[in-house]
């Protein structure tokens, strides 16, 4: 991978580079490529493929200004984004999930030295800012552990979603200057997937860089369409182990250890639902799903491949201590 430091040092050759990461996402990426070509035909588009088994080459060859970067193995979202940024030549970098469609792409008049949130419609729920507030530990625990055992209406209320004050921006669609991204050293490569965008926002804030809003950039996100082949228990296990890693990075190994213990205890307790006849089938499904999540977390923590690639050092140690 080319150095992100060299990204800051190299002179840009174009105004905008759009970067997307695919993993068996050929079915989803055509909307993104077509929408970029329609609203910003002069943009450089870089597709970083995480060793997919689908026909991504056949898809991208039909679009102008698209460069395909093939990786030898699946290195996760953040590392692949860094590879895409290293290959980019634009003054601005727009990161977009492959299942996003771009509605408008008008760049700001001046380069804000930080992250820029966008306006995004997620699964038809109406447009809103793709930014998030930095939540508390208790709110994170409620969201990541407790809420999964609640009925859907109650789960959406615990805790309420907050976008202000903006602390980080969604990795599904965001804009940044190449200089700011390079000087922030890109995404932290200890994350395989999830929480790398929140960590990036925290590092931008810690260095005094602003988090703003790109009024001219908007899109639609078909949530999880690009990862439809990944089971829900595996996605939830990745989110939980990423949260533990995030806390380990910012709070130390002891914080990761405490959180791993609470996560595993919370999931174990959540399996002990009382058998209420009208809800027995749903309770049984939740119990089986929770058991699968626990197994997936343990598998991730003991994975030799993740260890070899340096993913989740805090979380792997913390979860291993709970087994």
Same domain, 223 and 240: no
**pTM for the model:** 0.90
Of 227, 260, 281, the residue at which a domain comes to its end is 227
Q: CB–CB of 294/267 below 8 Å?
A: yes
Q: What local confidence, expressed as pLDDT, does residue 281 receive?
A: 63
Give the CB-side neighbour count of residue 33, counting CA atoms within 13 A.
23
DSSP 185-235: TSS-TT-SSSSHHHHHHHHHHHTT-EEEEEEEEEEEE-TTGGGTTS-HHHH
Domain around 99: 4-136+162-227
The angle formed by the CA atoms of residues 305, 306 and 308, to the nearest 5 degrees, is 65
One domain for residues 198 and 304: no
3-state helix, strand, coil in the chain (%, to 5): 45, 20, 30
Segment 157-170 mean pLDDT: 81
Helix (H, G, I), strand (E, B) or coil at 11: coil
| Domain assignment present for 154 | no
Both 190 and 298 in one domain: the answer is: no
Judge if 247 and 201 occupy the same domain: no
- pLDDT number for residue 222: 81
Of 247 and 14, the structure prediction assigns the larger pLDDT to 247
Q: What is the pLDDT of residue 280?
A: 57
Q: Which of 125-139, 269-283, 294-308 has the lowest mean pLDDT?
A: 269-283
In the predicted model, what is the mean pLDDT of residues 33-53?
95
Helices 253-270 and 137-144 cross at an angle (nearest 10°) of 40
Report the number of distinct structural domains present in the chain. Answer: 2
Using alpha carbons, select from 171, 161, 175, 173 the residue that is nearest to residue 212: 175
Percentage of the chain surpassing pLDDT 90? 62
| Whole-number pLDDT of residue 157 | 74
Q: Please tell me whether residues 188 and 290 are part of one structural domain.
A: no
Q: Is residue 183 part of a domain?
A: yes
| Any domain includes 269 | yes
Domain-ending residue, one of 227, 260, 282: 227
Residues 197 and 276 in one domain: no
Task: Choose the final residue of a domain: 201, 227, 253.
Answer: 227
Residues 238 and 267 in one domain: yes
Residue 142 belongs to a domain: no
Supply the pLDDT for residue 2.
Answer: 47
* Residue 305 and residue 182 share a domain: no
């Amino acid at each position: 991978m080319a150095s992100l430091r060299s990204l800051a040092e190299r002179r840009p050759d174009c105004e905008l580079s759009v970067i997307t990461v695919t993993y068996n996402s050929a079915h989803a990426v055509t909307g993104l490529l077509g929408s970029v070509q329609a609203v910003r035909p002069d943009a450089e588009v870089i597709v970083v493929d995480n060793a997919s088994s689908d026909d991504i080459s056949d898809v991208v060859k039909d679009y102008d200004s698209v460069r395909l970067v093939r990786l030898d193995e699946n290195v996760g979202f953040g590392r692949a984004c860094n590879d895409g940024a290293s290959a980019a030549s634009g003054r601005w970098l727009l990161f977009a999930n492959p299942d996003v469609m771009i509605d408008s792409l008008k760049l700001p008049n001046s380069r804000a030295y930080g992250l820029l949130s966008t306006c995004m419609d997620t699964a038809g729920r109406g447009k809103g800012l793709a930014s998030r507030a930095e939540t508390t530990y208790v709110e994170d625990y409620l969201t990541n552990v407790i809420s999964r055992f609640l009925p859907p209406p109650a789960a959406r209320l615990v805790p309420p979603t907050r976008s202000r004050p903006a602390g980080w921006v969604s990795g599904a669609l965001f804009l940044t200057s190449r200089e700011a991204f390079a000087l922030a050293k890109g995404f932290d490569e200890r994350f395989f997937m999830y929480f790398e965008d929140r960590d990036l926002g925290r590092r931008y804030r810690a260095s005094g860089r602003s988090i703003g809003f790109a009024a001219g950039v908007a899109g639609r996100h078909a949530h999880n369409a690009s990862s439809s082949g990944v089971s829900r228990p595996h996605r939830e296990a990745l989110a939980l182990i990423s949260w533990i890693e995030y806390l380990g990075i910012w709070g130390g190994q002891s914080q990761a250890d405490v959180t791993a213990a609470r996560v595993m205890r919370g999931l174990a307790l959540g399996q002990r639902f009382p058998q209420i006849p009208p809800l027995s089938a749903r309770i049984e499904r939740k119990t089986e799903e929770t058991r699968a999540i626990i197994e997936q977390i343990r598998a991730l923590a003991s994975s030799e491949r993740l260890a070899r690639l340096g993913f989740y050092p805090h979380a792997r140690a913390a979860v291993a201590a709970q087994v």
